[in-house]
Amino acid sequence: MSANSQKAAPRAAATKTPAAKPALAKAGPILLIEDTASLQLIYRSVLAAEGYEVHLAASAAEGHRLFASGNHRVVLLDLGLPDGDGLQVMTAMLERRPNTKVIVITAHGSINRAVEAMRAGAHEFLVKPFEDARFLSAVANAVARSQSRKTAGDAAAGFIGSSEVMGRIHDKIASVAGSMATVFITGESGTGKELAALAVHGASPRAKGPFIALNCGAIPHDLLESEVFGHMKGSFTGAISDRPGAATAADGGTLFLDEICEMAPALQTKLLRFLQTSSVLPVGATKPIKVDVRIVCATNRDPLDAVRRGQFREDLYYRLFVVPIHLPPLRERGEDVIEIAETMLARFAEEEGRRFDGLDPEVAELFLRHPWPGNVRQLLNVIRNVVVLNRGGSVTLDMLPETLTDLERTPSAPPVAAPGEPTLDSLMDRPLAEVERLVVMATIARHGGSIPKAARVLDLSPSTLYRKLEAWSRED
């Protein structure tokens, strides 16, 4: 149905276009923003005949609302809207979700507007009047292009939250996943660094290959080389058989090295050689093994500071720090804390056979102002505690763990030295090793014996403190 007016619609299809159908199951709804009711019906009928789900908006304001509340990856946008400029609508959408495919529709006398829209990031434009085949072809192409990004979105779904900062992280993961570039993830403990690594792997062409995670801070230094590169039978006491290391096990997939800054200097040298040659030399072997591995690493420390302190090789840092992804602490993610809490409340309740009705307003307010030193991991523990110890209903303040509510009720005050804690005067004229031990032990005592809390204060990983305590116990 071709029309002479500028508000012409596509001609009803004489024959269906089978090329559009394979992607329909995963296409998701298409957002159509068109102010003329008759054209809304015509566009939707043509699309519905091909199996597409269509959401309709008759104004810029309604289009913004539907786009913000939905997950539309393809948008059909008429540039001539009564309450706003179509280009501004498109720009706002692309700022919110840059991977959206926007097809702009314009009148014959407004070609310059279409060109301007393409320069501003539109996927394609249609000039009225247009044929149904051209219309469906443009939509099918946009859907196909959006599908190439969908895998990354699915893999990153472990990151619950709609904050702007998390949106940028999702987009960066989607952008880097298809490459071989090394990804370096930083962030405090509990922010989801391994989830981010899994998202990179899951969105990559290596998704069907292995994902091997290795915590460099949790393995004794004398065993770490064997864990990473493997060993041959008889290469050291206890090596009763050949054993492939993590790098070999990850062949064809991704090797995730967590707490990379805790790796011993000698092993850093071997890791650098591995990155340069893509070859693994197991302990006790004479012939290297070629492997195809993508490296993702993470740390809860500042890696550049570790370089300055001489704890991390500068050349290895620059080799690994190709695409940095910094995961923000939960306290900087705003309303995400409520979204995470309510999502996991429903999930845990289903697992435990309970029924909860969400968060009481006082609880939501507390969650928003709480500093969450343990980040998402701490929040999940709180929600799990609530679900296990309560029957259901709305989550109220009295259901929360006492440690959380007590902290909220206690006014903050600067710490003072407790009796027996070392003071600056008492540390003077002592060997540095002794000073370190006194400070570490006093910090652990101040935090009730909690190694993770003391580690955060001392800017160390918990595994480092455990190793120090073990070494000091052997000295005593």
CATH code of residue 454 = 1.10.10
Of 112 and 197, more confident = 197
Residue 419 lies in a domain: no
- Number of domains making up the chain: 4
Range of the domain at 40: 18-148
What per-residue confidence (pLDDT) applies to 356?
93
CATH number at residue 36: 3.40.50.2300
Answer yes or no: do 171 and 300 share one domain. yes
Answer yes or no: do 256 and 404 share one domain. no
DSSP 391-438: -EEEE-GGGS-HHHHHHHHSPP----PPTT---HHHHTTS-HHHHHHH
Answer yes or no: do 322 and 342 share one domain. no
Residue 6 lies in a domain: no
Question: pTM (2 decimals)?
Answer: 0.55
Residue 72 lies in a domain: yes
Give the residue from 176, 185, 139, 140 showing the smallest Cα distance to 155: 176
Q: Decide which of 280, 307, 326 is a domain's last residue.
A: 326
Averaged pLDDT for residues 283-312:
90
Averaged pLDDT for residues 197-221:
86
Most confident of the ranges 101-110, 231-240, 303-312: 303-312
422 pLDDT tier (thresholds 50, 70, 90): low
Residue 416 lies in a domain: no
β-strands 183-186, 323-326: how paired? parallel
Q: Decide which of 309, 326, 343 is a domain's last residue.
A: 326
Residue 156 lies in a domain: no
Residue 11 lies in a domain: no
Provide the H-helix boundaries in 156-218: 164-176, 193-202
Q: Decide which of 326, 350, 373 is a domain's last residue.
A: 326
Answer yes or no: do 387 and 403 share one domain. yes
Answer yes or no: do 309 and 334 share one domain. no
Residue 2 lies in a domain: no
Note whether 366 and 338 are within 8 A (CB). Answer: no
Answer yes or no: do 300 and 343 share one domain. no
For the ranges 151-160, 269-278, 283-292, the lowest mean pLDDT is seen at 151-160
